[in-house]
Amino acid sequence: MTIGYWCVLAAALLPYVFTLLAKSGGRYNNHAPREFLEKQSGLHKRAHWVQLNSFEAFPPFAAAVIIAHLTGVAQSTIDALAIAFIVIRVVYGVLYLTDKASLRSVVWMAGVGVVVALFVAGA
């Protein structure tokens, strides 16, 4: 398996790191998990929001890596962009948790830029 594909797996699992943090705020109710998460505040609420955003960011990234592979983009390019995406998403999560909204938005755009770069490389 290529580094790019391993990064797809990492991106698929990354939201669950934030999920664990979101659910660690108080007495977790597995009978109504969404209601529990919506009632969180502060760090735990932001952890919930970053998990949702991480789930949203995954499909375009996974598609971009797969399409780049299928269209014959140089493996080193795919790997570099995929690693960049994972690093960006980790930084994004930290910025979200620490409530650095403006910088977080800049980093989010960088992640979108990586996905676009993967698609464009395969064009």
Quick check: 10 and 79 in contact, CB under 8 A?
A: no
Q: What is the pLDDT of residues 105-123, one digit of tens each?
A: 999 999 999 999 999 999 9
Q: What is the pTM for the complete model shown?
A: 0.94
Using DSSP, state whether 73 is helix, strand or coil: coil
What separation in angstroms does the CA of 115 have from each of 15, 39, 41, 78?
Answer: 17, 33, 31, 10
Name the CATH architecture for the domain at 3-121. Answer: Up-down Bundle (1.20)
**Domain range annotation of the chain:** 3-121
Using DSSP, state whether 95 is helix, strand or coil: helix
What pLDDT, on a 0 to 100 scale, did the predictor assign at position 26? 76
Q: What is the pLDDT of residues 28-74, one digit of tens each?
A: 878 988 888 888 899 999 999 999 999 999 999 999 999 999 999 99
